[in-house]
């Protein structure tokens, strides 16, 4: 079920005022990077198709009015490396909005190097699952606001299992419980990606967002599945603080400008 199917029409459902009242909806392009191809896009985190130069897309999305950007190295954990420092440094010279970087972050020094290169926040998934104490250590050193818990969730029976290595490896962890534990350890934001919905353009996973949103008191970013402005609206009305968008932008179904205008017309507050 998509969020657009799950949520009634505009004005019939309000945001959770206890968590998000007065907070503008954030639109965040997500740029998945696979060296040496550059910017890529897949379906369910597989079968990547080359899109183009990530730096050029980043500048274009910035000029369209993106609130933040996400760079994610989609093979970094597989090859146990992080190769985005140079790209981050180059991007930071041309865009002036928060930049989240993830993929292949294994230790505190990796976080330090990415922040020094120009990242504002660093997303951790595989290494956090392997050593949850990394979240607590990083939050203590850099501040919770710099640490994003990235969770790749795949439906398993009545719930969801957390996956690592860009949706390749099972962890045995209940994704919802892992989100809660990661926040308790100090993560200042959660990026929740539905592996099942990712790249399908059939809408966000309504049930997943509904399960996660009440469990966290930090900003929640939903990723995976939107194909229309209605899908994006529905995610915000179900309690997320931001949406991470890829296909809908990369394939020019919508621009950030048209998305923000559409959300305003539906009564949602967005940033200029």
Instruction: Tell me the three state secondary structure of residue 253.
Output: coil
pLDDT, one tens digit per residue, over 198-209 is 889 999 999 999
- Distance (Å, whole) CA 72 – CA 135: 18
**Residue 23 carries which DSSP code?**
P
Residue 192 and residue 35 in contact, taking contact as beta carbons nearer than 8 Å? no
The verdict on pTM exceeding 0.75 is: yes
Task: Give catalytic residues, as residue numbers.
Answer: 32, 152
Task: Report the DSSP pairing between strands 242-245 and 220-223.
Answer: parallel
Cross-strand bridge partners of residue 99: 69
- List the domains of the chain with CATH numbers: 3-265 (3.20.20.70)
Q: Given this model, what pLDDT does residue 84 score? A: 87
Q: Given this model, what pLDDT does residue 183 score? A: 97
Residue 210 and residue 238 in contact, taking contact as beta carbons nearer than 8 Å? yes
Burial (0-12, 13-18, 19+ Cβ within 10 Å), 14: exposed
**Residue corresponding to tokens 């690592």:** 164
> Which residues of the chain are modeled with pLDDT < 50?
1-19, 21
Q: Given this model, what pLDDT does residue 48 score? A: 72
Residue 148 and residue 190 in contact, taking contact as beta carbons nearer than 8 Å? yes
- Distance (Å, whole) CA 151 – CA 195: 10
């Amino acid at each position: 079920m998509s969020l657009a199917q799950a949520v009634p029409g505009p004005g019939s459902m309000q945001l959770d005022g206890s968590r998000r009242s007065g907070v503008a909806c954030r639109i965040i392009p997500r740029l998945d990077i696979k060296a040496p191809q550059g910017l890529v896009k897949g379906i369910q985190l597989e079968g990547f198709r080359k899109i183009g130069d990530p730096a050029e897309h980043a500048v274009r999305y910035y000029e369209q009015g993106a609130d933040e950007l996400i760079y994610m190295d989609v093979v970094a954990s597989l090859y146990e490396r992080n190769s985005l420092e140079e790209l981050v440094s180059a991007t930071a010279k041309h865009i002036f909005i928060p930049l989240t970087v993830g993929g292949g972050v294994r230790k505190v020094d990796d976080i330090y190097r990415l922040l020094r290169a120009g990242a504002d926040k660093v997303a951790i998934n595989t290494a956090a699952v392997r050593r949850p104490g990394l979240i607590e250590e990083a939050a203590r050193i850099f501040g919770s606001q710099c640490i994003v818990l990235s969770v790749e969730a795949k439906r398993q029976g009545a719930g969801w299992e957390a996956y690592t290595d860009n949706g390749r490896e099972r962890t045995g962890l209940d994704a919802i419980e892992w989100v809660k534990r990661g926040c308790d350890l100090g993560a200042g934001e959660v990026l929740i990606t539905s592996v099942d919905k990712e790249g399908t353009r059939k809408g966000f996973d309504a049930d997943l967002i509904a399960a996660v949103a009440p469990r966290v008191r930090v900003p929640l970013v939903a990723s995976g599945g939107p194909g229309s402005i209605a899908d994006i609206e529905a995610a915000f009305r179900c309690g997320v603080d931001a949406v991470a968008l890829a296909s809908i932008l990369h394939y020019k179904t919508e621009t950030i400008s048209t998305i923000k205008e559409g959300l305003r017309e539906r009564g949602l507050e967005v940033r200029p």
